[in-house]
Structure 1
C-alpha cells in the first residue's frame, strides 16, 4: 500500500485485519502523527517506509516484524523513541532513523542480527550509542554524522567485525574505543569536522592502544599502535579537524587510496607518506599553514591543494616518475618559488608518457591548474577570448603517431562566490561536437582574484570521427570554453596537437636547463594588454616546419599557423 504525499492523512486505522500486508509506504505524509499498535504484529510486512513524516510522534511500543527487510523513518523530526525489538527480526537489512529526535536506542537492537546498514545521521539529540548496536555482527555501514551531542562510542565497537564504513563526521567525540583495532574490514573512516580532535586530542583519537587502556605518556607512541591495525582502510577523512601535525604512523595505512586533510593547520606532511603505495587522491585544500610537500607515492592521480597560500615547495625532480593531476589555485608562493617552467614541463612529460605506457582511462582526465596570466609558448595555436580554431591536414590526424590535443586557458573570476561553477570545454571536429568535458571551479578556499591557467590533455586514441576524415582534405578543430553562470571569464586560450615526437622531446627535456624546448610563460610584465594580445596573434612563419611535414609540402603551404607540433630544433627558451 502506497499513500505517499497524502497531506491530509492524520492517522491510519487498525491494521490487524490486513495480516498479509507486505508494503506500507507513507512517505511525506506531513500530518501523520500516530501509527497503531497493530502494525507491530504484521508478520508478512517486508517494507515499512515513513520517510519525511515530520509530525510522526507515536510508534508501537514493541514490534515483532519477522519478514521486515527495510525500515525507514528518516526525516521524522518529532520521533523521540524507537520501539523495543521482540522476537526474531533477522531479515531486516536497512534501518534509517536519520534526522529524528531519538535520544538513544534500546538494548534489544541486538536482535537485528541481519542488519547491514544503520543510518543515524543528524540525530541531534542522540547522546549515546547502545551497546546492543555493537553486537550486530552483520553490520557493514554505520552512519553517525552530525550527531552533535554524541561524544563517546561504546567500548565494544570492535565487536562489529564486518564493519566496512564508519562515519563519525561532525560528532563531539574526542577519541575512539580501544577495540577499534579489531575492525579488520574497515575500509572507510570519516572524522570530518570533529573539532574535539584538534591538537593533542588528535593524537589521542588515533591512539587505539592494543593492550593497555591507560593513557600513554607519549601520544605519538600511542598513535603508532593505532592505525597499523586498520590494514583494509582505503578512505580516511580527517578534514576540518584543526589538526596541527600529521604523525609518521600514517604511512602504515598500506591500503589507503583517498586521504582528505582539507582545512587543517599542519605545516608539512611526514616523509612516511611515500610508503602509501596505493594512495591515489590527496586533498589539502584550505591548509593555509602548509609550506612543503615531501615526495609522494608514484601512483597518485590527484593532488588538490587549492588555497594552500603558504605552500612553497613540492618535492619532485625530472627523473622522478610523478605526474598527478594538480589543482594549485591561489598557490602563488609555490609557483614563484618552485619555478613555472619546471612545474609545467614536468606535468606534460609525465602525464602524457604515463598515458602511453599504461593506456588511456576515459574516466580519468589529465589536468593542471596554476596561477598565471599567459598561455605558454609551447601551445602553437593561441587566441584572445574563449575559443581557438585549428585547421589541420587530415592525414596528420589519421597518422598512428597522432596522440591527442593539449589545451590551455587563462581565466579569472569577475564575480566572487563560494559555490561551484560548472564550465564546459567543447571540442568540435568539422562542426560536430565530439568532446565535452566539464570543469568544476569554485572559491571554496578563498577568493580567486588573480589570473589562473588551466591545462588539460585529451587523448584522441579512440575517436570514431577519424573514420569520416579524408586524408586529402583539411580538418577544422574548434575548442570553446562555455559557462553556465556569471563570474567566470576565459581571456585567452591555446591548443597544441600531440604527436609521438612531442613525447620524445618532452622526455629529453630537463626542466631548468638552457636547452629545454618548453617556455611556459611570457615574461612581458612591462607590456600593456593590447601589446600582449598582439603578441599572441603573431604568426610564426619564421619557425622551421617539423621534419614530418616535408613529406607533404603542398599541404604545409596552405595550413594556417604553419605548424602544429614542435620539432627538436625549435626552442622558445631564452
Structure 2
C-alpha cells in the first residue's frame, strides 16, 4: 500500500523514495532526480528477483547526487555485486543514514558535512581516505569500515564526540588509528582475525571501559595510547601477544587498580607510563617486561608497595616514583628471587634516571646503581641534611633538591656532578662545595647551580656578583656554567663591558631609540628587545675567550628572557634562555630580585667560520660581537641585562694575566627598542663607560 502511494507521486525522479533498481539506476545515471527524493534503498531481496539476467552497472557522474539536496537515507547492500563506475563530487548534507556496501568513492567530497548523520557503513569500500583534516559529525554514533582494504589511516576523529561503535575488521593496510577524544566510545571493537599492519592506536580521552580480549590480534601494534581513559578498569591478558609493542601509555587511568598481567616474557616494550593512575599495586608479572627501559609511576597516590619481581627489569634506565606518597620502601631482595632471575643481579643494574619528588629518600640505600645513576630527583622531600649515600653515586651528573623546605645543609657531593638545583630550599644554610669555590679553595666543577629563593644561604656566603667575578677569573678550563641566585644589588655589575638598566634610569651607553620608559618597556604584553655590540681584538685567541651573559629579574616572576649571540653576522649561540619560573609552584612567588648568569666559551668550530668570513669580507682589525636580548611581555619583570667578554689566563698570550674584559675589548653601542621601533628612528647618543671599568 505504501509503495503504491509513492509510485503515484509521479516519475521516479519526483518520488520521495526509490527502491526499484531500474528506477534508481535511471535516476543516478541520467541525472533525473529532484530535491523531492528523501530515501534510496537497494536491497538484497529486490535484486535477487532476476538472477536470470546480470544486473546493470550503475554509471555515476559528478552530478549524480547534486540535485538530491534533501536525501536523508541511502542504503545499498548490493554495491559490490552491482558495481559502480565514475565518481561524484556531492552528497547531501542532510543524510542521516549512509549504508553503502562496496562504496566506489576514493574519498568523501570535501563539501560533505552531514551534521545529522547517525550511521555510516561503507564496508568493503575501495576508499583510500575518508576525508582531509578534521570534520564535525556531532550526531554520528556508528562507523562500519570492515574490509576497506585500501584504507591506510583514519583522519582526525575528535569531531565525532558521540561515536559509540567503530568496526575496522579486515582493514589489512591500516597503519594508524586515532580515536582520541571519542568520549562515548565505551568498548573497543572485536578483532576477528590477526592484523599485522596497525602500528599506532590512540584511544586517549575516550570513554573506553574495557578492551575486548581479541585486541591481542593486533599483532603488529607498536604504540598504544590509553591515557586519560577515566573509565578504563582492566586490561585483557591477551596484550602479552603484542610482541612488537614498544609504548604503552596508561597515564591518568584513574579507575585502573592494577598494572596489566603479562603471562609471557616481552622484550619489545620499552616505555610504560602508569603516572597518576589508580593502581594500588604492580602485578607480580611485571618482571616479564624484560626489555622495559622507562617506567613512570609518578603521582600514583594509592600505590603502597612494589613487588620483588621489579628487580627482573634488568634493562630499566628510568624510574619515576615522584609523588607516590604512600610508597614506603623498596621490596626486600631474596636469594630465591636471585636464583629465579638467573641473570646475576637482583638490582637495577642499568638505572640512569631516578625521580623521587616527594617520596621516601631511604630507597637510595637499597639500590645497586652507584655507578650507573646519572640523574636523581629528590625534590620536595623532608630531610634536613642530604643523605650521606649521595656522594657514592660516582657518575651522578644532575641532582634536583628543589623545594626541600627543611634542608639545611649540603655536605659532600658526588665527584662528577654537573648540575644542582636547590630552588626554594629556604632553610638551606650551608653548601660546602660552593663555600670552597667562593673561597678559592676549589674550582667550580659544577656547570649549573640554581639557587632560586635561597636567601639564607646566599646571605651566609655573602654570595654576590663580585664573588662571581672571582669564579670567572679562576675558570682555568674555560668551562661553561650557569648560576641563578637572589641579588641584593638588583642590577648588572658595573664591571661588565656592556649593561643596561631596563627599569629605572638609563645607563651610560650609546642608545639608538627612544629613552622614555614607555617606549623602552612598552605597554603590557608588548615584546621588548635590546642589543649590545662589542669589538673584539683579532689578537685574542679564541680558545681563551668566553662571554658572560647576565639578566636581573624583579622578583622570581614566571617569565623568561632569551638571548642570541653572533660574531660578524655568524650565529654563535642561536638561543639561550633565562627562565625566571618556579617549576613546582609550591609557595607564593618571591619578591626578592634574582640574578641569572651564563658563561660559555666561544666555540672554536664556529669561530673558524667567523675567521673564514672575516678574511673574505672584513678588512677591520677586530671582530664585531652582537648579543640580542628579547622577552615576550613588557611587564617590568626584567630589571637589567648585560654582556661581558672574559679572557682566560695563558702564559703565551699577549696579555699575561687573567682579564675580565680589559685589553682587546671595546664596547661600541647598545640598542634598546620595541620590536616595531626602527633603529634609525629618534636617535639619541650617550657616553660609553670605558672598556676597562670594573
The residue correspondences of 1:440-519 to structure 2 (distance < 5 A) are: 440-444=579-583, 445=585, 446-461=588-603, 462-463=606-607, 464-466=609-611, 467-468=613-614, 473=621, 477=625, 479=627, 481-501=629-649
In the alignment, what sits opposite 2:497? 381
Q: State the shift of 1:500 in Å.
A: 2.8
Distance 1:104 1:302 in 2: 44
Contact 1:36 1:59 in 2 (8 A): yes
Distance 1:4 1:134 in 2: 41
String of CA shifts for 1:425-476, please: whole Å, max 9, x gaps: 2546689986553322224434031011111113223244454386865666
Q: Pick 1 or 2: higher relative contact order, CA cutoff 8 A, min separation 6.
A: 1
Structure 1 gap segments, 5+ residues each? 212-217, 356-364, 510-515, 519-539, 550-557, 567-574
Contact 1:405 1:497 in 2 (8 A): yes
Please say if 1:399 is aligned against 2:528: no
Change (3 A) 1:308 1:423: same
Distance 1:394 1:344 in 2: 22
In the alignment, what sits opposite 1:74? 180
Please say if 1:33 is aligned against 2:134: no
Q: Secondary structure, in 3 states, of the residue corresponding to 1:159? A: coil
TM-score by length of 2: 0.60
Aligned length: 495
Of 411, 417, 438, 2:577 maps to: 438
In the alignment, what sits opposite 2:320? none
Please say if 1:421 is aligned against 2:577: no
Distance 1:250 1:17 in 2: 56
Please say if 1:563 is aligned against 2:670: no
Please say if 1:152 is aligned against 2:258: yes
Contact 1:208 1:223 in 2 (8 A): no
Contact 2:485 2:595 in 1 (8 A): yes
Q: State the shift of 1:277 in Å.
A: 4.9
Of 177, 182, 205, 2:283 maps to: 177
Change (3 A) 1:69 1:108: same
Of 245, 249, 253, 2:366 maps to: 249
Distance 1:282 1:195 in 2: 24
Please say if 1:122 is aligned against 2:228: yes
Contact 1:47 1:68 in 2 (8 A): yes
Indicate the structure (1 or 2) with the bigger Cα radius of gyration.
2
Change (3 A) 1:372 1:168: same
Distance 1:157 1:260 in 2: 33
Distance 2:639 2:112 in 1: 53
String of CA shifts for 1:326-362, please: whole Å, max 9, x gaps: 222112233234552798478647877264xxxxxxx
The residue correspondences of 1:242-281 to structure 2 (distance < 5 A) are: 243=360, 245-250=362-367, 252=369, 255-281=372-398
TM-score by length of 1: 0.72
String of CA shifts for 1:394-453, please: whole Å, max 9, x gaps: 43565345422112232214xx86xx5231225466899865533222244340310111
Please say if 1:15 is aligned against 2:128: no
Change (3 A) 1:132 1:433: closer
The residue correspondences of 1:101-120 to structure 2 (distance < 5 A) are: 101-120=207-226
Q: Secondary structure, in 3 states, of the residue corresponding to 2:547? A: strand
Contact 2:128 2:151 in 1 (8 A): yes
Between Structure 1 and Structure 2, the one with more helix by share is 1
Change (3 A) 1:223 1:399: same
Distance 1:321 1:399 in 2: 23
Change (3 A) 1:458 1:60: closer
Distance 1:272 1:504 in 2: 44
Q: Name whichever of 454-463 and 43-52 sits farther off.
A: 43-52
Change (3 A) 1:219 1:283: closer
String of CA shifts for 1:54-109, please: whole Å, max 9, x gaps: 42333246734333221211111111110112111122211110000111212222
Distance 2:292 2:270 in 1: 4
Of 473, 477, 482, 1:367 maps to: 482
Contact 1:379 1:495 in 2 (8 A): no
Q: Name whichever of 247-256 and 339-348 sits farther off.
A: 339-348
In the alignment, what sits opposite 2:306? 205
